[in-house]
Amino acid sequence: MHILKCSALALAIGAASQTALADNPEPAAADSAELQATTPSNQAQSNGLVADSKLNVLARNFYYKDDDKSAGAEQSYAQEWAQGLISSFESGFTQGRIGFGVDAHGLLGLKLDSGRGRAGTGMLPSNAGDCNAEGQCGSQDSYGEVHGALKARVSNTTLKYGEMFVHTPLFDTGDTRLLPEAATGFLLTSTDVENLEVNLGHFTAANQQASTNSDDVFSGYAGVMDGAMDFAGGVYSFSDSLSASLYAGELQDYWRQYYANLTYGMALSDAQQLDFNVNLYQSYDAGSAKVGAVDNRTGSLAATYTQGVHALTLAYQQVDGDTPFDYVGNYSIYLANSYYSDFNGPNEKSWQLRYDLDLGELLTPGLTAFAAYLKGYDINARGMSADSAYQADWGARDDQDHHELDFGARYLVQEGAAKDLNFYLVQQVHRGSQQQYDGSFDRVRLIIEYPLGLL
């Protein structure tokens, strides 16, 4: 979803938060076991509510520049610079057979540079009191929020209720701009069965990234969606090299969705590795079908060959359906070719070639770089029903194509007073045919992060 979502690389450098994603410069289909919620420890090991508490703060400095090359773009240029502070408190659990605790998050965003005609990056809320005659509005100088969740634990099973960050293939809150989004509801996570993690969730509202409202409705390619989101599933690790995930979920009165994933890695030698990642989504309309008929099967296959400091990835992705593959939450698409564009148009086929280089041995430890090229083609919606909610954006598009070229570098300070200071720079170029949904863009992101473990 090119408006706000840009899935998949977590540049995680602190336990309390996900790092901002720069329009998915990393493969979206990472090992599914790594994308689940943090595994809870056993309640029998609890040291108490206070003794096991953690307090972390992530300072995030974000520069965002967007140049819209699409014909007829109302605003061709967006450029903003902002500072964010993301604090996360996780209490321990009270001792006893059933443990109780609380999680809380405090988020603050500060505008450093923006203005009318340059706002609209999705980092800062719009300022309705700062608009010119053309209707271009500036951004708010600051915004912030505090939210939290209650939690209870029995054995290795934890139940949370409130506002929280969620990371599952069917529903994943996004962290692609200055501050992360959160969702309101219930989440049950269990690891009582060895090698199996189970997640069950029921969520009714969201707190989106450039918003301080905790009751925002969900959004997708068809616009706002006011139904509750339910899901159940998990990941099972057969071995260190083989794992599988299965999920089922439903967005009330919109669609029912299923997800399957298989990851396998094999060592070819001490310096060579071959990894495979398969993802498959199946979506059907459900209930009153507020977006119209949906029958969509979308999958991807990625293979990565690693030799020493070099890694080469080849991926293929295909949409089988007359509507685009849609989802809620800005990160809920675990597919290989979801970068700036999701490459998820009706009946779209796409492939990817990516090269990663670890420059730690060649230049300095902690420095990595990548380049990726993606091509999407055969986009057509000839079979889309006339009453589909996707008609306005997709119905007139036939035989469209597009491509994307991304370059990026990351540097993580390894030692000294600035240890864990993280720099991330990415340049993205996307070009589409005249009616292709994502248009033509040049994008630049510079993200600087520094985590502080206070407790």
| Active-site amino acid positions | 202, 253, 332
d(CA 151, CA 153): 7
Task: Tell me which H or E stretch contains 243.
Answer: strand 242-251
* Cβ–Cβ < 8 Å for 5, 344: no
Burial letters 265-274, b for 16+ CB under 10 A, else e: beeeeeeebe
Give the span between the Cα atoms of 335 and 281, in whole angstroms.
Answer: 9
Residue 175's closest CA among 9, 55, 1, 31? 9
Which residue from 56, 47, 212, 229 is spatially nearest to 124, judged by alpha carbons? 212
* Straight-line distance from the first to the last Cα atom of the chain, in angstroms, rounded to the nearest whole number: 37
Give me the residues paired with residue 288 across strands: none
Q: List the one residue out of 142, 143, 160 whose CA is nearest residue 151.
A: 160
Alpha-carbon distance 247 to 170, whole Å?
A: 7
